[in-house]
Amino acid sequence: MRKPRVIRMVFALSLGCFVMVIFYFNSSLKPASEAVGESGSRQKSRRSPLQTLYDGDQVESAVQAIHQGRRELLEEACRSYTRKRRVLIPEDLKHIIVDDQHGLLYCYVPKVACTNWKRVLMVLTGVAGSNRDPLAIPANEAHIPGNLRTLSEYSTSQINQRLRSYLKFVFVREPFERLVSAYRNKFTRSYNTAFHKRYGTKIVRQHRPDPQPEALEKGNDVSFEEFVYYLVDPATQREEPFNEHWERVHSLCHPCLIHYDVVGKYETLEQDSRYVLQLAGVEDQVSFPASSKSTRTTGDMAAQFFHNISPFYQKKLYNLYRMDFLLFNYSVPAYLKFR
C-alpha cells in the first residue's frame, strides 16, 4: 500500500520541479518591454522599441524598408571590409547613451545632430525636469558629462542585457561634409578659443612654414589645408586619438561589432528621427527639433573647401575616412580630383 503512495509523491514532486523550471525559463526570456529597468518605471504592458521594429505593424512600411536596406548594406560591408572581430571593451561604449525608461541605446556622433538628440533624451529620461521642449535646453547643458548615462558605466552583464534587448540607433553623415562642418565650427568661430589653443596652435606649429608669433600663441587662423595636413600626418594619431568631432564614425560607434537596429542619416534627419521616436512610442511626448538649414554645411560648400586641396592629399584623406564611406553607403564625392 505504501508503494503507490511513494510513487504519487515522487510524481507530484517531479511535476512541481518541472513547472518551476518552465516558469523560470519563461521568465528569463521575457522581452525587453516586460523587463523592468533599474529605474523601475518601464511599464510591463508596453512593447519595447525593439519589438515594435521587428513586429513591423505600427510604422509605415516604406520607411521600414529603407531602414532594413541600410541594415543589410551595413552588414554586407562589414563582412566585406573587416577581417578581424574582437570583443567590445568599456572604452568602446563611451559614446553610447542609455535610456533605460524607453529601452534605447544611442551612439552619438558629433556634427550629426547629436546636440538635439541629447536634448531629446534629456527630456525622455527626465533629466530636463518638467521641460518638454528640447530647444529650451541650452546646447552646452546637453553636453555636460553625467547628465546622461553611457553604456560604459554599466557592469558586463548589464551591458550585454541592454545590447540584446534595447533598440540601438546611430545617425551618420556624408564623411567630408561632416569634416568640413567640424572645421568650420571649431576653427573659424571666434568663440572656440579652447579648440584654437588645444589644436590650432599645434597645427600652426607643425604644418605652417615660418608661423607668426601671434598665430603660434592663439592658433585662431588655421586654414582648411593645414587642418587636412594635420589629419593625414601619421604622427597625429601616434601622439593622441583624434578628437571626437573629426574621429571616424566606425571608430566612435563600432558598427561592425554592435548591431545597430536603426542607421539614421543626416540627409534624412527629420524622417529618421520621427521613425525612432515612433518606435519608442514617444512621438506624442517629444518632437525632434527642426534644424536650421541656413548654416548647414552642404556638399557644394564642402566642394569649395576641397578646391585647393591637391589630389595627393585628397586621396590620403579619403583613405583615412574610407570605411565610413563604405559602411554607410556614401559614394566618392564628384568634386574629388584623384580618380
In a domain, 270, yes or no: yes
In a domain, 97, yes or no: yes
Residue 260 has pLDDT above 50, yes or no: yes
Residue 304 has pLDDT above 70, yes or no: yes
Confidence (pLDDT) at 249:
98
Q: Which domain holds residue 147?
A: 47-326
Confidence (pLDDT) at 14:
47
In a domain, 306, yes or no: yes
The domain tally of the chain equals 1
Provide CB contacts within 8 A for 98, sequence distance 6+.
104, 105, 148, 149, 150, 151, 153, 154, 162, 166
Provide CB contacts within 8 A for 175, sequence distance 6+.
248, 249, 321, 324, 325, 330
Average pLDDT for 309-318: 98
pTM above 0.75, yes or no: yes
In a domain, 61, yes or no: yes
Confidence (pLDDT) at 174:
98
> What is the DSSP pairing of strand 104-107 with strand 262-265?
unpaired
Average pLDDT for 317-325: 98
Distance from C-alpha of 302 to C-alpha of 176, rounded to nearest angstrom: 7
Compare 286 and 59 and report the one with higher pLDDT: 286
Average pLDDT for 56-64: 75
Residue 300 has pLDDT above 90, yes or no: yes
Q: Which three cell numbers stand for residue 337?
A: 580630383
Compare 148 and 291 and report the one with higher pLDDT: 148
Give the model's confidence band at 46: pLDDT under 50 very low, under 70 low, under 90 confident, else very high: confident
Residue 80 has pLDDT above 90, yes or no: yes
Confidence (pLDDT) at 184:
97
In a domain, 287, yes or no: yes
Compare 63 and 179 and report the one with higher pLDDT: 179
Give the rounded percent of residues in the chain with a pLDDT score beyond 70. Answer: 84
Confidence (pLDDT) at 147:
95
Residue 306 has pLDDT above 60, yes or no: yes
Compare 42 and 294 and report the one with higher pLDDT: 294
Residue 19 has pLDDT above 90, yes or no: no
Average per-residue pLDDT for the chain:
87
Most confident among 38-52, 227-241, 288-302 (mean pLDDT): 227-241
Residue 58 has pLDDT above 80, yes or no: no
Distance from C-alpha of 151 to C-alpha of 218, rounded to nearest angstrom: 37
In a domain, 15, yes or no: no
Digit-coded pLDDT (tens) for 181-214? 999 999 999 999 999 999 999 999 999 999 999 9
Residue 92 has pLDDT above 50, yes or no: yes
Confidence (pLDDT) at 5:
56
In a domain, 290, yes or no: yes
Tally of CB atoms within 10 A around 71: 14
In a domain, 52, yes or no: yes
Confidence (pLDDT) at 56:
62
